[in-house]
Structure 1
Amino acid sequence: MKSQNKTLFVFALLITLSSCKAQTTSIIKEGAELTLVADGYDFTEGPAVDKNGDVYFTDQPNDRIVKWDASDNSVSDWMKPSGRSNGLYFDLDGNLIACADEKNEIWRIDVEKNITVLVKDFENKKLNGPNDLWIDTKGGIYLTDPHYKRPYWNRTQDTIPKRVYYLSPDNEEISIAAENYSQPNGIIGIPDGKTLYVADIGYPGSSSDKKTYSYSIQADGSLINKRVFCEMGSDGMTIDNKGNVYLTGNGVTVFNSNGKQIEHIKIPEAWTANVTFGGPNQDILFITAMDSVYTLEMNVNGIR
């Protein structure tokens, strides 16, 4: 029944998308259908695209990383257990970097699935729970550290301030990049390494702290010039080759580089967690939402 309801939703979405055909600059491919790839998960998150255009995503409650094969639109378990991985991102050498939430760590997972713990604490204190990350052109890692209490944690330590951290390219030094958030969550940078976007998703019932900020990135990885990019927080984020920024939560909301909303993509789920671009040409928007994952063909491309 759920799949039938989703099919009806897709037909309704097609009608909406058809009304936009006159907009020749639409970021969505003309006639594109929102496609349900797979469902039956508990909560999907953390999509990351590899060099082939395949997308890896997490099903955190089931402690697994799943791979979507762009060549045949199939999904299969890639790693289980996975350290309760949440956000994912591929580094410059093709390793999968994971926010391993089980022990509040950052993992590097190579192609043979060997694990190296890159971050296990900050100043001898456990992180709150690394959530999402972005890797710059030098290999440095920015990561968000909000606090969402997990039923599988067995810890007595008080939480530390909710921050964005930066792990140096040699993986030797972790430092505070930014702080003073309610719940820092989604994070993405532009390819030239000059601008970083960080979403403060805030708390349920509060709108005052739900914002996305932009920062200027300095040569040493530090952040300056904090500015409000838009009055909306986000769970996950991505960016396309036109500089448009994609935020999630109530579907996918797209803002141009000036912070003006240009598109809203409805998703037939109560919550949309994250988004990236997949496929060989990175022109397929890959969306994780509750128990499901979706794709949508686009006129724009993602940028690795």
Structure 2
Amino acid sequence: MRGESSRAQLFNQDSLKLISSAFSFTEGPAVNRRGDVFFTDQPNNKIWKYSVEGKLSLFSDQAGRANGLHFDPKGQLLACADENNELWSISPKGKVTVLLHNEEGARLNGPNDLWIDQKGGVYLTDPYYQRDYWSRQQPEIEGQRVYYLPPGKNSKLMMVAADISKPNGIVGTPDGRYLYVADIGGNKTYRYRIAIDGRLSDQQMIIAQGADGITLDSDGNIYLSGKGVFIYSPQGELIGHIEVNEPWTANLCFGGKKRNILFITASKSIYTIPMKVKGVE
């Protein structure tokens, strides 16, 4: 991870392209092996697909109010199904399997975003955002945490970080050594060391800024979404900012056949911008 990229090398602001503004609030982009990007329109309870050919199509219209998405090594689409505070696995044909419903008998706060390691283990952020479609008015779990669900049918959910105000965006390095978690409540982004069993240690504040979504490129640069997209070097130095003319930029991922197209979900819209680096997802 060289971290030598400069703004001029990374992108051309004029290349930012509006794809569509036909949504209510876009979130959770995830890329499959082909390079197609799936994303959610959370208020409308839908998951959409944006293909490498540039075509939009509806993937699911019963999406469990999904927020964050991520593809596992087997090609299943995992979704933070916020409606009933669940984690779903969705097959390519749309069949839903509920992987996670509660933690020791208590409903999760509201699974928000996730990252899946090479073994198929799932890291999950669980902040509390009161939803108008919930019957409950307060959390059942004290604190807002990061969890790890190890691979395997009988695996048990592990709490791996409770030292964050409101965890939101999450991403790991492709070698499986480090996990980045954006604390949108504390306005900080932390890096953790990942142990063999999936537990986290050695919390370090790498950036004095939180985020809604987070991703990495092949140089190890860190992308934080919020008011546009902020790009930081692996050392935490601000090296670029992509301006997005929307009230809020919720999330982002690299897509396309070469993984060099940054796909951005921003309020009612989705955007793309070609990058001179590739994503690592």
State the TM-score, normalizing by the size of structure 2. Answer: 0.95
Q: Could you list the runs of 5+ residues in structure 2 that have no partner in the other structure?
A: none
Q: How does 1:103-252 map to 2 (within 5 A)?
A: 103-155=84-136, 158-160=139-141, 161-171=143-153, 172-202=155-185, 209-252=186-229
Query: Aligned in 2, Cα 1:132/1:153: closer, same or farther, shift over 3 Å?
Result: same
Query: Aligned in 2, Cα 1:26/1:150: closer, same or farther, shift over 3 Å?
Result: same
User: Following TM superposition, by how much is the alpha carbon of 1:74 offset from its aligned partner in structure 2, in angstroms?
Assistant: 1.7
Q: Secondary structure at the match of 1:212?
A: strand
* Residue 264 of structure 2 is aligned to residue 281 of structure 1: no
Does structure 1 retain, via aligned residues, the 8 Å contact 2:6–2:239? no
Name the counterpart of 2:63.
Answer: 82
Does structure 2 retain, via aligned residues, the 8 Å contact 1:42–1:290? yes
Name the counterpart of 1:258.
Answer: 235
Q: Deviations over 1:171-215 (max 9, x none)?
A: 52101010132211000000000000001001xxxxxx2100000
Query: Aligned in 2, Cα 1:27/1:164: closer, same or farther, shift over 3 Å?
Result: farther
Query: Aligned in 2, Cα 1:24/1:261: closer, same or farther, shift over 3 Å?
Result: closer
Name the counterpart of 1:12.
Answer: none
Q: Deviations over 1:7-42 (max 9, x none)?
A: xxxxxxxxxxxxxxxx97734345851000111211
User: Which whole-Å CA distance do the structure 2 matches of 1:75 and 1:284 have between them?
Assistant: 16
Aligned AA (2:255): G
Name the counterpart of 1:7.
Answer: none
Larger Rg: 1
Does structure 2 retain, via aligned residues, the 8 Å contact 1:186–1:199? yes
Name the counterpart of 2:35.
Answer: 53
Q: Secondary structure at the match of 2:43?
A: helix
Aligned AA (2:43): P
Aligned AA (2:261): I
Does structure 2 retain, via aligned residues, the 8 Å contact 1:230–1:259? yes
Does structure 1 retain, via aligned residues, the 8 Å contact 2:128–2:139? no
Aligned AA (1:293): I
CA RMSD of aligned residues (A): 1.4
Query: Aligned in 2, Cα 1:30/1:269: closer, same or farther, shift over 3 Å?
Result: closer
Q: Could you list the runs of 5+ residues in structure 1 that have no partner in the other structure?
A: 1-22, 203-208
Q: Indicate the percent of aligned positions where both proteins have the same amino acid.
A: 49
* Residue 39 of structure 2 is aligned to residue 62 of structure 1: no
The more displaced of 120-129 and 166-175 is 166-175
User: Which whole-Å CA distance do the structure 2 matches of 1:27 and 1:224 have between them?
Assistant: 34
Query: Aligned in 2, Cα 1:298/1:176: closer, same or farther, shift over 3 Å?
Result: same
Q: Secondary structure at the match of 1:66?
A: strand
Query: Aligned in 2, Cα 1:295/1:159: closer, same or farther, shift over 3 Å?
Result: same
